[in-house]
Homo-oligomer: A and B are copies of this chain.
């Protein structure tokens, strides 16, 4: 085994982001980056470091009355001719795999760990593996099951890209297959059968007529969605098909549980046969909690902007543990997973500045 690359936590966050980007860490290949992160954090005497798989946890133990988690994942989606990273000095934009999702956020975490030895809240830094693949591998999920006490906190910040604006809570998501049935026949004598694709007209009509619920929770307006994301049917070019399957994705606001969401979808499509294939809960913004309020005042304070999170993120895992959590990180979430992903250097810098001020108890 070769020694891991040495991360320089005294460098600025942009330099550190580039260093992290250039350590390839596609999901399930996080050993090298996790070794480098672990070594860098173990060198900081004010932190206690634990490792589970390729997930690294570093904590202060100052006996503060409150504790916060700041977390980010170390893995990326697969390489797509977008490594190594490249800084465009003219535009101040850093290009490359993981710049946006989410090594800019990881660099901020490492900089905060190194430069705020005496925060006003105790802090648990979590850098975890396998967020981009099947949730059974997800490092944060595994940690919440094996060592929930390591995630105990009053508040959590997940540094997923959010354009350096606080995004609170997240919507849940579930998928169902809605099935229509018919009866096969030769298409030359169609009247002897029942066309299951034609029968799906009613399913699509209901989807078209769907009126999105937009509940306001803690002052944030969520926006649900009910969409066909797939459809398939057909036996052969000369056969009236006896089955058609419409795959529907329901994105639901966090005031609904998974059970309530499924009940809604079941009733919406009744009496069709529906099969649940996938489900994940939303997360309430929890902005009424004192720790969250304090964070918003410190960080959202600049222009007071707090947005609802429409997409599903790991904040829902904190929510399940009873820890209010927000997304707050550099980079445009719409660029995540794209070949051309990039991050404005200014967003990395502003996130670092605002979080440092918050941890030091200063005005941002």
Contact = CB atoms under 8 A, between A and B. Distances in A.
Contact of A228 (B195, B247, B249): B195
A207 B230 CA distance: 20
Interface in A306-349: 310-312, 334
Interface stretch (A71-79, A95-103, A133-141, A181-189): A181-189
A262 to B, nearest CB: 16
Interface in A232-246: 232-241, 244, 246
Nearest to A250: B187
Contact of A197 (B171, B246, B311): B246
Nearest to A200: B204
Interface string A238-268: 1111001011010100000000000000000
Interface in A191-236: 191, 195, 197-198, 200-201, 204-205, 207-208, 212, 223, 225, 227-236
A201 B198 contact: no
Nearest to A188: B311
Contacts of A186: 311, 334
Contacts of A195: 207, 227-228
Secondary structure at the A interface, as helix, strand, loop or mixed, is mixed
Contact of A204 (B175, B198, B234, B310): B198
A190 interface: yes
A149 interface: no
A198 B208 contact: yes
A228 B197 contact: yes
A278 interface: yes
A173 interface: yes
Given A187-B227, A229-B238, 10 more contacts: A186-B311, A187-B229, A188-B312, A198-B228, A200-B231, A227-B240, A229-B240, A231-B234, A234-B247, A237-B247
